[in-house]
């Protein structure tokens, strides 16, 4: 039991350091506290802290320099598959502004192309599910509406006919849902979202690729600007 408790505490330590790095509280190149100080702060043994640091290094978040200590890595430029996996699971809306922009840019790149493919292939105009999801967005509120919006955008990626686009969107469900919930806290944003999504549904239904791409970009960039503004105010 003691070993299990220590393992849980070590996992908590790793996740806390990951969160500090992803949020920007710890910057690339910054030196972490010595292992004995981290052990005292988190209530861990030094061996557990050492194992946690090795895990963080394997994930691409820290770089361990013998006799000098551990330093925050530039994880966006030196990413490993494990780094991407952590970002995919990171559901907090408190990610750094730089990471937020990168994530939104990725969304715009993928979803605009998906909207274009959906229209030009005929899959969008013939689809019955997207209008149903639009109806869910109109009728729902709170967490249910957030889920409906996320399901709507996932369906749009599926209509592209490219399974990798759809899988990529689904893989980032955690952070995307968290950011969507943060963006739509204000009633004015929710109202504007319903309007833009209704226009997008009409564009996809008529196969208007140009309008669909523009509306997808408007929806995503509006969220990016809103979320970035909130970070500057806090």
Could you give the number of structural domains in the chain? 2
Domain match, 119 and 18 both:
no
- 132-138 contacts: CB < 8 A, separation 24 or more? 134/197, 134/198, 134/201, 137/193, 137/194, 137/197, 138/194, 138/198
Spatial neighbors of 199 by CB under 8 A, at least 6 apart, are: 211, 215
Whether 79 and 157 map to the same domain: the answer is: no
Mean residue pLDDT of the chain comes to 90
Full residue range of the structural domain in which residue 155 is found:
94-233
Indicate whether 56 belongs to any domain. Answer: yes
Predicted confidence at residue 76, as pLDDT, reads 79
Last residue of a domain, one of 30, 62, 83: 83
SS3 69: strand
- What's the confidence (pLDDT) of residue 14? 95
pLDDT at 233 over 60: no
**Each residue's pLDDT tens digit, 85-96:** 787 776 555 677
- Assign residue 158 the CATH number of its domain: 1.20.120.530
Verify that 145 and 61 share a domain, yes or no: no
Global pTM reads: 0.75
| Structure confidence at residue 2 (pLDDT) | 54
98 and 195 fall within a common domain = yes
Residue 18, judged by CB atoms within 10 A of its CB (0-12, 13-18, 19+), counts as: buried
Residues 6+ apart with CB under 8 A from 46: 35, 36, 39
| Cα–Cα distance for residue pair 216/142, rounded to 1 Å | 22
Is the domain of 108 the same as that of 72?
A: no
Residue 88 forms part of a structural domain: no
**Are 202 and 99 in the same domain?**
yes
Taking only the tens place, the pLDDT of each residue in 116-173 is 999 999 999 999 999 999 999 999 999 999 999 999 999 999 999 999 999 989 888 8
55: Cα separation from own chain's centroid: 22
Same-domain status, 75 and 191: no
Residues 138 and 187 in one domain: yes
């Amino acid at each position: 039991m003691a070993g299990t408790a220590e393992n849980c505490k070590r996992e908590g330590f790793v996740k806390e350091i990951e969160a500090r790095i992803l949020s920007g509280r710890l910057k690339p190149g910054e030196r972490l506290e010595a292992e004995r100080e981290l052990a005292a702060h988190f209530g861990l043994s030094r061996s557990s802290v050492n194992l946690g640091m090795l895990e963080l290094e394997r994930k691409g978040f820290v770089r361990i320099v013998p006799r000098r200590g551990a330093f925050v890595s530039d994880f966006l430029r030196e990413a490993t598959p494990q780094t991407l996996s952590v970002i995919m699971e990171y559901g907090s809306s408190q990610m750094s502004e730089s990471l937020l922009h990168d994530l939104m840019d990725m969304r715009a790149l993928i979803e605009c192309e998906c909207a274009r493919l959906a229209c030009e292939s005929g899959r969008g105009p013939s689809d019955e599910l997207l209008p149903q999801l639009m109806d869910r967005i109109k009728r729902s509120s709170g967490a249910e509406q957030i889920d409906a919006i996320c399901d709507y955008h996932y369906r749009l990626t599926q209509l592209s006919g490219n399974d990798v686009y759809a899988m990529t969107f689904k893989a980032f469900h955690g952070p995307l849902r968290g950011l969507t919930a943060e963006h739509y806290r204000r009633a004015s944003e929710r109202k504007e979202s319903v309007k833009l999504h209704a226009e997008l549904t009409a564009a996809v239904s008529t196969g208007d690729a140009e309008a669909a791409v523009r509306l997808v970009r408007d929806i995503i960039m509006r969220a990016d600007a809103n979320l970035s503004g909130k970070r500057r105010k806090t």
